[in-house]
Amino acid sequence: MSKEQISELQVERKKFKPVLPSVLKNGPVSIKPMTGKETESISDQETVKRLFPDTYGMPLITFIKGKNQDISKRIVKVGVVLSGGQAPGGHNVIAGLFDGLKKANKKNKLIGFLGGPSGIIDNKNREITDSLIDNYRNTGGFDMIQSGRTKIETPEQFEQTKKTVLENKLDGLVVIGGDDSNTNAALLAEYFKKEGINICIIGVPKTIDGDLKNEQIEASFGFDTATKIYAEVTGNICRDVNSARKYWHFVRLMGRSASHIALEVGLKTHPNITLIGEEVRQNKMTLSQVVDYVVDVIVQRAASKKNFGVALVPEGLIEFIPEMKELISALNDVLAENEVQLNTMQNIEEKKSLIYTKLPENLSSLMKSLPGLISSQLLIDRDPHGNVQVSQIETERLLVEMIKVKLSALKKEGKYAGKFSAITHFLGYEGRCGAPSNFDANYTYALGYNSVVLVLNNLTGYLSSVRNLVQKPAQWECGGAPLTMMMNIERRKGKEKPVIQKALVKLDGKPFGTLLENREKWALTESYLFPGPVQYFGPSSVTDITTVTLKYEKIKKSSR
């Protein structure tokens, strides 16, 4: 990174010194692991235990202060890989790893694998040095070593990974990723145990979607920064709509498998409509019923001469609608089973014609009823983990088109006399590489430093865990949670596979409860909030605040 690439903000952010939790402050030689209770997988215990015989049932680990001088006598080499989509703070995880290793022993080395897991398979790497890491502290993006979505799953890939580990004489490998990437970390930890190779595989919880969390992982990094960025833009749209008063804005937000981002941005900005996928699924709403709910709000506002508003749509909404989820699941199987034949077809309509004959009649009819653009987008190639790429399915446009049809019918019946002009937005990639907030800068640095302590204590198969996050960083608690305790069995690419279970919005939780309490008021009035941009300098009450979601979740726990 040249001087010309460094902005004025980055010059100042380089001066920011992350605050370590007090237990980590004096370095790895002053930290001892305390063993907690043994664990079991979140579900499908017998199956998961059978698949992970050497790493299943490991205990929770909490770090406490104590002498651990043997750590300083070892010289270790640790690899790090960024896996999956970008999230603000990834560079600070690497900075925490680097500083923790050097604090333990200046001869320790950190090796970055380039381009994600494929860099491990192909043995493409670079050593992380002082001069390199100093250019990336407190910055957004993953550009120091880049990321990728390759999944290590075939016997050949595992064998090549072993070769890379042995050639580089690695003592540890830290996988920075989401639920799928950390599932891969768990599989690698099990594989190396079985092979008798002494290497520690550690995961770090990364995803702006917020769906990698549990009692031990209170938040995945990047969620705080990304939702602040999305809330700034959404707040700006709310202010614009309140000024112009003539458009309905439909804002699709990232969140493939959970609606945490939509909920958080909704709580930060108070739009007129915030759709939550988990609620749609629980109530078994059809696509038509979702449209009816939105139309009802539009009609009520129009009756008060308010032909404007803001609606938030989680990008994964389409998968939460039971009939659509059933369609997508069936499509996944059909696409996998007919891959060879479909690959010979160049025309999308030809592919659809074949697929219609392979689907059950009710699902074939449902797919045919969708706008052509949306039915085509449902056929886009799946990601390496077998998931539909919902970021490329324009759910907000689907809703708008169906709303127009519904409003036209109501107008003919004399039940609607308003005007409906819609503008659509997709806020996704804009938030993935933002400069991390103070919270994320501190949290990611702690996660990286904490990972070093796990490696140096030979604790393989763990996810770096930093807890008590609503308190000041010095009060955060550190340790490790076994990756297998988060596992369940899911159907992927037509097969049953172990994966880390995604954390969904809890409909009985305080964050969603707050939305529910205010839904009617926010729908019909202009209660908009305008959070503004992420603040890095100024009073702590502004710069160090974390998410509304985390705050409300902590309130619930404190009130038990």
Task: Kindly report, residue by residue over 19-66, the tens digit of the pLDDT.
Answer: 999 999 999 999 999 999 999 999 999 999 999 999 999 999 999 999
pLDDT of residue 559: 44
User: Is 499 a member of any domain?
Assistant: no
Strand ranges, E, within 402-536:
422-427, 462-467, 477-482, 487-492, 495-500
How many CA atoms lie less than 13 Å away from 534 in the CB half-sphere?
Answer: 25
Say if residue 408 is in the same domain as residue 455.
no
* pLDDT(558) > 80: no
Say if residue 376 is in the same domain as residue 396.
yes
Task: Kindly report, residue by residue over 270-287, the tens digit of the pLDDT.
Answer: 999 999 999 999 999 999
User: CA–CA separation, 200 vs 172, rounded Å?
Assistant: 4
Lowest mean pLDDT: which of 277-291, 323-337, 406-420, 460-474?
A: 323-337
For residue 378, what pLDDT band results from cuts at 50, 70 and 90? confident
User: Is 190 a member of any domain?
Assistant: yes
Which of 435, 20, 501, 459 is CA-nearest to residue 203? 459
CB 124 within 8 A of CB 113: yes
Mean pLDDT of 381-390: 64
For residue 114, what pLDDT band results from cuts at 50, 70 and 90? very high
* pLDDT(375) > 90: no
CB 154 within 8 A of CB 195: no
pLDDT of residue 560: 40
User: Is 358 a member of any domain?
Assistant: yes
Task: Kindly report, residue by residue over 181-192, the tens digit of the pLDDT.
Answer: 999 999 999 999
Mean pLDDT of 143-163: 96
pLDDT of residue 99: 98
Say if residue 172 is in the same domain as residue 274.
no
Say if residue 342 is in the same domain as residue 481.
no
Task: Kindly report, residue by residue over 87-106, the tens digit of the pLDDT.
Answer: 999 999 999 999 999 999 99
For residue 194, what pLDDT band results from cuts at 50, 70 and 90? very high
Query: For residue 490, what are its two tokens?
Result: 């899911």
For residues 388 and 428, the model is more confident at 428
Which CATH number fits the domain that encloses residue 250?
3.40.50.460
Share of the chain above pLDDT 70, in %: 96
Q: How many domains does the chain have?
A: 2
Annotation marks residue 209 as catalytic: yes
Distance of CA 377 to the CA centre of its chain: 22
Domain span at residue 68 reads 20-222+436-487
* pLDDT(248) > 90: yes
Lowest mean pLDDT: which of 78-87, 102-111, 372-381?
A: 372-381
| SS3 state of residue 115 | coil
User: Is 142 a member of any domain?
Assistant: yes
Say if residue 230 is in the same domain as residue 207.
no
Lowest mean pLDDT: which of 104-118, 378-392, 491-505?
A: 378-392
Lowest mean pLDDT: which of 325-334, 426-435, 513-522, 539-548?
A: 325-334
Q: What mean pLDDT is reported for the chain?
A: 94
Which residue of the set 171, 179, 180, 209 is catalytic? 209
User: Is 146 a member of any domain?
Assistant: yes
Say if residue 310 is in the same domain as residue 452.
no
pLDDT of residue 384: 60
pTM of the shown model: 0.93
For residue 383, what pLDDT band results from cuts at 50, 70 and 90? low
* pLDDT(3) > 90: no
pLDDT of residue 441: 98
User: Is 494 a member of any domain?
Assistant: no
User: CA–CA separation, 331 vs 552, rounded Å?
Assistant: 38
Say if residue 32 is in the same domain as residue 151.
yes
pLDDT of residue 4: 62
